[in-house]
Amino acid sequence: MPGWLAWWLSLNLATVLLFGYDKAIAGGRRRRIPERTLLAFALVGGSPGALLAMRAFRHKTAKVSFRRAMGWVVGMQVLAGAVLLAMMASPRG
């Protein structure tokens, strides 16, 4: 398995676990994971895991500001991927 793939899979697993842990402790006395941290994990490549966890755990789905921020993260990643593909496909000369 390529190193980048192992890193990406590990990052997404960590993201799912963070979302799951945050959901599990919600409403209790333990300190919650800041939204900024959850979004940071999504931003650096864990957005598939974040989206999966949001759906599976029904976590952060009712909070419009968080959903909007996740949409921004995913949108920026899609845009960056499209730009990268366009750059790779353009003839160099």
Q: Map tokens 């029904």 to a residue.
A: 58
The whole model's pTM is what? 0.87
Residue-wise pLDDT tens digits, 49-82: 999 999 999 999 999 999 999 999 999 999 999 9
How many Cα atoms within 13 Å fall on the side-chain side of residue 46? 22
DSSP conformation letters of 39-59: HHHIIIIIHHHHHHHHHHHT-
Q: At what angle do helices 64-89 and 47-57 cross, to 10 degrees?
A: 150
CA angle 53, 57, 60 (to 5 degrees): 80
